[in-house]
């Protein structure tokens, strides 16, 4: 997560990015189809309301909405048909979701009160962390959000296990004089609320557009031929990056043409061992130890399948002329060992890492072992 010095410089008093392109600005008005409206509050928190007053609302309008009890001020993000589609997508149990209504459009006085409530959040969060530490609770207060009417505060916390914060709520209510609500979040949700810049140079996906935070396993690294080091592939939250899932289906589809397991190939000149796999170009690099040194062969997957079938019949074909080492692309697993030159000492030869890929017969997914 980024610090305050790394945050965006173009965030105005409204808390939104003024330089962000609005991809939904040219969509037709569908408020006549549905009166549902999606409203965004602080950070990534969004809720759905009914436009029972038939107000003329557009994306970006500030509105005063009903709360339970009291009221709050938020910004319209979706209206009409799109809001209803988003509601069905995000809400797992619509029957239990209480749809409140929108009072009116926000006035300058409503916005000023909202800013006053925002100014209370940072000192309250610092004090809340001190209180939790004094009570000996194994938890971290990640963020505090005050409702615009200053009648309620939501404390977002992170904890490994269950936390008994009954006494904590009593102290918070006595200390801050508001109604307290505790919400547990994970590391990905915390990164989305704090925001920041990813390694790609763009705003974090979790704080800009992602709403679901699915678990990402290290199997996604092996399937795409990325570095097995989870530390290098970790995002601002310390977990594996969400973008590892964006191209995973493409690699899984490409991996279906590969054998279930890349076996060592028996050739007329010895045993060739797989050292690198490129799913997108459908090629495999094999190394062969010869008397003159180690040689690298680049074979298409169709040729690999043919040689495996010939090996089953007891035939040991010739691999032909070895390929010269090339600069490996970033999405390839392993490294191409360079042939030692005359000036290069024997001790500085690159070590060939043996990689095996196979398909799990139960799940049907590709897996790998480094």
| DSSP E strands, 118-202 | 140-146, 152-158, 179-184
Nearest Cα neighbor of 227 from 351, 334, 338, 326 is 334
Average pLDDT over residues 110-124: 94
What tokens were used for 197? 């810049």
The number of residues in the chain equals 370
Distance between terminal CA atoms of the chain? 30
- In this model, does residue 186 exceed pLDDT 70? yes
Mean pLDDT of the chain: 80
- In this model, does residue 359 exceed pLDDT 70? no
Average pLDDT over residues 57-80: 91
Average pLDDT over residues 84-88: 92
Domain extents in the chain:
29-107, 255-369
- In this model, does residue 14 exceed pLDDT 80? no
Report the C-alpha gap between 203 and 197 in whole angstroms. 5
Average pLDDT over residues 205-220: 81
Give the residue, 130 or 356, on which the prediction is more confident: 130
Q: How do the residues of the chain divide into helix, strand and coil, expressed in percent and rounded to 5?
A: 25, 25, 50
pLDDT tens digit sequence for 160-184: 888 888 899 999 999 999 999 999 8
Residue 21 banded pLDDT, cuts 50, 70, 90: low
| DSSP E strands, the chain | 36-40, 46-50, 62-66, 71-79, 100-105, 140-146, 152-158, 179-184, 265-267, 270-278, 283-290, 293-300, 356-359, 366-369
- Give φ, ψ of 211 to 5 degrees: -120, -20
> What's the pLDDT score for residue 190?
85
- Which residue reads 């043409």 in tokens? 257
The answer to whether 277 and 300 have CB atoms below 8 angstroms apart is: no
> How many CB atoms within 10 Å of residue 114?
25
- In this model, does residue 32 exceed pLDDT 50? yes
- In this model, does residue 147 exceed pLDDT 70? yes
- In this model, does residue 336 exceed pLDDT 60? no
Across-strand partners of 30?
Answer: none
pLDDT tens digit sequence for 230-267: 677 888 888 889 888 888 888 888 888 888 777 888 88
pLDDT tens digit sequence for 308-324: 888 988 888 887 766 65
pLDDT tens digit sequence for 254-309: 888 888 777 888 888 888 888 888 888 888 889 888 777 788 888 898 889 899 88
């Amino acid at each position: 997560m980024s610090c305050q010095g790394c945050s965006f410089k173009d965030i105005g008093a409204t808390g939104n990015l003024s330089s962000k392109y609005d991809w939904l600005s040219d969509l037709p008005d569908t408020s006549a189809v549905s009166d549902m409206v999606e409203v965004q509050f602080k950070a990534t928190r969004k809720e759905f309301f009914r436009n029972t007053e038939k107000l003329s609302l557009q994306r970006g309008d500030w509105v005063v909405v009903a709360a339970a009890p009291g009221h709050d001020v938020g910004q319209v993000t979706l209206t009409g048909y799109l809001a209803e589609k988003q509601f069905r997508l995000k809400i797992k149990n619509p029957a239990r979701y209480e749809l409140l209504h929108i009072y009116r459009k926000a006035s300058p006085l409503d916005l000023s009160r909202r800013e006053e409530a925002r100014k209370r959040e940072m000192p309250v969060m610092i004090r809340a962390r001190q209180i939790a530490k004094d009570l000996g609770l194994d938890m971290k207060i990640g963020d505090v959000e005050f409702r615009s009417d200053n009648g309620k505060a939501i404390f977002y916390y992170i904890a490994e296990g269950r936390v008994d914060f009954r006494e904590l709520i009593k102290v918070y209510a006595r200390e801050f004089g508001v109604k307290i609500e505790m919400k547990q979040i994970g590391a990905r949700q915390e990164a989305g609320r704090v925001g920041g810049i990813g390694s790609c140079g763009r705003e974090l996906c979790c704080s800009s557009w992602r709403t679901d935070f699915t678990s990402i396993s290290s199997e996604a690294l092996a399937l795409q031929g990325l570095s097995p080091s989870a530390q290098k592939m970790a995002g601002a939250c310390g977990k594996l990056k969400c973008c590892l899932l964006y191209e995973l289906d493409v690699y899984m589809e490409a991996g279906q043409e590969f054998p279930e397991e890349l076996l060592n190939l028996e050739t007329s000149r010895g045993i060739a061992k797989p050292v690198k796999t490129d799913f997108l170009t459908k090629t495999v690099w094999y190394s062969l130890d010869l008397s003159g040194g180690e040689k690298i062969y680049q074979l298409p997957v169709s040729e690999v399948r043919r040689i495996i079938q010939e090996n089953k019949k007891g035939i040991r074909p010739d691999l032909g002329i070895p390929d010269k080492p090339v600069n490996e692309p970033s999405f390839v697993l392993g490294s191409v060992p360079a042939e030692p030159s005359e000036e290069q000492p024997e001790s500085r030869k690159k070590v060939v890492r043996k990689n095996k890929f196979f398909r799990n017969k139960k799940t049907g997914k590709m897996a790998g072992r480094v």
